[in-house]
Amino acid sequence: MKQPGPDHPITLTPDPRQIRVIVAGVAVADTRNAVRLEEASYPPVFYIPRADIQADSFVPSAKTSHCPYKGEARYFDLVVEGVRRADAVWSYEAPFPAVSAIRDHVAFYPDRVDAIEVLEAS
């Protein structure tokens, strides 16, 4: 396990904007309770609470991965209206303490969904 630091910063920020993820015209996630994770030089990622996803569209896949800063990730396919997007979603079931705010959240690959909409808070 590695700790975030000056050479590999990780910042987690609650994001009050409405974040909506669209696949085949269906919102598979819609929240105002996202956590925005910024890690080193990577693009920011929105982690969406599981309570705000359409769980029936998520099918566990066999893929897993390991991040030395976040822990073990598991992946899900999205199946919506007959459209399947393989390994489009990931989740850290037991994230390392430094990123514990992403427990019970999922994140999406932007190139495997139709849109990740970010609507300004009103």
Summarised one tens digit per residue, pLDDT across range 13-67 is 999 999 999 999 999 999 999 999 999 999 999 999 999 999 999 999 999 999 9
Phi, psi of 12 (to 5 degrees): -115, 130
Q: Is the pLDDT score of 110 beyond 90? A: yes
Q: Is the pLDDT score of 121 beyond 70? A: no
Q: Where does the pLDDT of residue 122 fall: very low under 50, low under 70, confident under 90, or very high at 90 and above?
A: low
All domains in the chain, ordered by first residue: 10-119 (2.170.150.40)
Q: How far apart are CA 2 and CA 8, in angstroms?
A: 9
Q: How far apart are CA 45 and CA 108, in angstroms?
A: 8
